[in-house]
Structure 1
């Protein structure tokens, strides 16, 4: 494949070519990849860009537990479909257990953690039975009293000011409780907790790793060994075992240096042709098209690789400084939402076409009507991104 076709292949595998219009949120997340959630709006744009799903429907699916935000691969939070809850959650248990080791170094014994686990779970189960509803961390601390221990300045340095966050992580990691967004929205990082009781996964740890590998290779359309390990956090031995379990092949059909691919994808890629017509999307910087392999630079055309907003050239950035405007996998511009002016501030690398201008207007209207703002992550704010907005405005003139 040439570079343009290679980018279009990833675009196609991500369902950004319009092939998933009308798909439900849960189905789409299964087919194209879990949506990274860091208190930002990426999950909403992930579903809107691929299937036109609006925020009202997404929030309804969250409330109905058709989709949910859970800690999974690498202990990171993603929005998953219901069929993936149990086995996906099991992949993040190691990260939850790692926080126990931090508490151990701070002098907290496991029996103290177990006691707090039992008390917290009982409290949330009682609240659920009484119809009290989810409890936020402040309410939990007040009700648990002295059972929650402050770990002082040393704990703060290690990211553990009290014992409660670790216990909440442990309870969530095996589905005994779940975290609920207090206003029902995925882009506002304020949570309460409720008892859950999710059934244990039917898959063994080995089977869960193989399932993730199959999904990951299908979502990406092929990846290097290093890229698979970055996303999954599997050891070399676990990675090789998972690749063998899904009959993955190392193929040069997409990349001359070789990618690990599912056999069906290697066969399909051999006859794949890039679409002739423009397919314009505005995506989040954390969209799966880039995040799954952390290869945003590969989506910049050779003629644009020297471009930069600020000091760092686009071809040298592991993570994009702004959100991308993309055509068939090729990044053709950058954008940020300016809530003060209710507009998308953008910089296009070349003269805009009608399709580009039309899609920018569509996404601008969607943000205004559905979200009110477009936050990249939990601490993002209009004030914190103003320099980026100003830089994009200056570059576009």
Structure 2
């Protein structure tokens, strides 16, 4: 290994905390893909670490991390037989933090602590102790600032917690990775006088879509009547604006009955969603016409999207918008909110509508139903390379290396920090 590149401590705390959830969120997938890529391509300069409330941040045994990641990938791919095994593997790794804190020697070479989730950014002292112990630089990933910009869509305690996270980033980070220019612009005002242009780097996310392995089989619970359908992907919460679609579907069903396509909601149930759940469970017009799936595997989601009339994504705010990117790569038409980050992701390959303009959404949906929309499917080849995970992780690691190189020249590294 070249002496010019830094050793990388990558944190897998979020993956460990999510071991009981068989279906990944977008941030889960990001952390998984970064760790997987580094283990496959940069293992000689990699140490996986994790946070424990008592033990702080400490290294983990690489062989155990590989085993955990392999099982997690199988579970996310639909292997239900391994679901009970994953939490046990996570528990052993978490317990090993307490042991390795005292038994692993300090690393004194050039190094970077890479945290690609928001996990434990509210514990800056633990991060500071780790950086001081190893003389490391700190490169976190900030996925969004939604709790600060749109507190009405977050849990009541989340805005304050996110403000603490951003304070940690501003004070300790030597470089910051964000998934979109829109996030970089939002982050700039929280950098406490530091130039965001010099410290913040835009690296879009990749996608985990094994298109060549797609079977084309729809989930077994989907009615086999051949009725057309649209898909909405995302956690069921107010920010995702499911209510807009539910009201539109009630209107369509009342107007045209079974001639209306189905709406399929894919995502776990989130928070403060009582109005959404009331409609799903109690509105007569939606019964059998709107279906909800909370635990689909990655292959099931691919198959579902490929068989759909299109993706509907009326979210009020997003840090990136992985479902939109998924639709682009699959060549599926998408109708989405007219917000800056979606334009970054999709360019001219989506239909943009104000998330509050119900009549415009209904008109666009009806246009796709007739099959008469111009340029119905986005360009496949244009976006396949753009959202390739290995390529995007390599770009993120290039940010790590650049941050280390710049800090070496400016004398920013301070082992006694």
TM range (shorter): under 0.3
Instruction: State the structure with bigger RCO (CA 8 A, min sep 6), 1 or 2.
Output: 1
- TM-score of the superposition, structure 2-length normalised? 0.27
* TM-score (norm. length: structure 1): 0.28
